[in-house]
Structure 1
Amino acid sequence: MTAGLDTPDRRGRTGLDQHGRDLARNPRVRIRDVEVLACDWYVLRKTTFDYQHSDGHWSREQRETYDRGDGATILLYNTDQETVLLTRQFRLPAYVNGHPDGMLVETPAGLLDGDGPQEAIRREAAEETGHTVGVTEHVFDVYMSPGSVTERLHFFAAPYGPATATGDAGGIAMEGEDIAIVELPFCEALTMVRSGQIADAKSIMLLQWAALDGPFRSTALPTRSPG
């Protein structure tokens, strides 16, 4: 009897080795086997599949995938003050891979945990920043690391201000969260992207969207003289 397969793991899951076995949307891919390597909290699988190459020949391939569920992130902005509301928290993976102190400046984000993307990001924004956002604008959905991680991240944006500040910030202490709020002028946030002080992919994508197509387009883009 194996936890996560035929008996519940610590999150109550079974049948984790069945995920992906019935995929048939791509006739050039034939799933042969799915093996669960770890399921302590998220799930690490090794999938064996046959793949038909562009020249017609087939090969047997194996890939490991890390399944942590899908997530959502949001850019909170204030066009009157020309500011954005970001967070700062410790990220161990970044720390062990060269970041000076592991303290990353980011847009609020979190896993869906069974909720819809908009419901989840409103929850995360309230927990991390203390702001209860109203209508959110859906920006795009992105596979952040498609070579190994299954996660699809849903991107949103929403205004914030004194009226949306309804609770305490900082995250959930019981889950080990220790999140600081970072309010920045939008132009300063863009400068921090250029200097590498903001090195989180989702945050960079939302800040650049805000400059190119979003709420700060008119202030972030230089004015071109006619002719």
Structure 2
Amino acid sequence: MTAGIDTPDRRGRTGLDQHGRGLTGNPRVRIREVELLSCHWYVLRNTTFDYQHRDGHWSREQRETYDRGDGATVLLYCLETRTVLLTRQFRLPAYVNGHPDGMLLETAAGLLDDDDPEAAIRREAHEETGYRLGPIQRVFEAYMSPGSVTERLHFFAAPYDPARPATGGGIAEEGEDIDTVEIDFTRALQMIRTGAIADAKTIMLLQWAALDGPFRHAQDHRRGAD
């Protein structure tokens, strides 16, 4: 008997070795075996599959996938003050892979769990920043590391009121210790260039805000003045 397969794991899940077996959307891919490597909290699998190459020949391949569920993130912005509200928290994977202190500036984000994307990001934004979001804009969806991680991230943007103090901080019971940082939008773009902002989802939302989002016209005006 194996936890996560035929007996519940710590999160009550079984059948974790069945993921992907029934897929039929790509006739050039045939799933042969799914091995459960770990389900301590998220799920690590090793999948063996046959793949038909462009020239017609088939090869037997293996890939590990890390399944942590899908997530959502939101850029909080204020047009009047030309600021964005980001979070700062410690990220161990970044720290052990070269980031000076592991303290990353990020847009508020979290996993969907059992919620739909909009409900999830409203929950996460409130937990991390203290703000209850009003109107919210869906921006796009993206697979953040499709070579190994299954997560699909849902991107949103929403205005916030800087006159109201941020009172989040995360959930202490889950080990979260989150600061909020209000940054001038132009400075935030500069921080991408210097590496002071190095989180992918945050970079994507800031660049969207400049190119096609709430700060687009301000950026056009600046370019016209140069």
When normalised by structure 2's length, the TM-score is 0.96
In 2, the alpha carbon distance for the partners of 1:179 and 1:171 equals: 6
Provide the rounded CA distance (Å) in 2 between the counterparts of 1:111 and 1:124: 8
2: CA distance, partners of 1:167 / 1:105: 15
Q: In structure 1, what is the equivalent of residue 147 of structure 2?
A: 147
TM-fit CA distance, 1:224? 3.3
Residue type of the alignment partner of 2:152: R
Q: Secondary structure at the match of 1:7?
A: coil
How far has the Cα of 1:134 moved from its partner?
1.3
> In structure 2, the residue corresponding to 1:223 is in which secondary structure?
helix
- Is residue 192 of structure 1 aligned with residue 191 of structure 2? yes
- Contact 1:65/1:148 (<8 A) preserved: yes
Cross-structure match for 2:30 = 30
- Cross-structure match for 2:15: 15
Structure 1 contact 187–220 (Cα < 8 Å) conserved: no
> What do the CA deviations read for 1:47-87 (whole angstroms, capped 9, x no partner)?
00000000000000000000000000000000001000000
The root-mean-square deviation of aligned C-alpha atoms, in Å, is 1.3
Which residue does the alignment assign to 1:209? 208
Asked whether the 8 Å contact 2:73–2:156 carries over to 1, the reply is yes
Give the 3-state SS of the residue equivalent to 1:224 in structure 2.
helix
Question: Which SS does the other structure have where 1:13 is aligned?
Answer: coil
Correspondence 1:52-201 to 2 at 5 A: 52-162=52-162, 165=164, 168-201=167-200
The percentage of aligned residue pairs carrying the same residue is: 74
In 1, Cα distance between the equivalents of 2:218 and 2:191?
A: 17
Aligned letter for 1:218? H
Runs of 4+ residues deviating >3 angstroms: 221-225
Distance (whole Å) between structure 2 residues aligned to residue 182 and residue 220 of structure 1: 22
Distance 2:15 2:140 in 1: 31
Unaligned 5+ residue runs, structure 1? none
The unaligned stretches of length 5 or more in structure 2 are none
Give the TM-score normalised by structure 1.
Answer: 0.96
Cα pair 2:78 2:162 within 8 Å, conserved: no
**How many matched pairs?**
224
1:219 CA drift (Å): 1.6
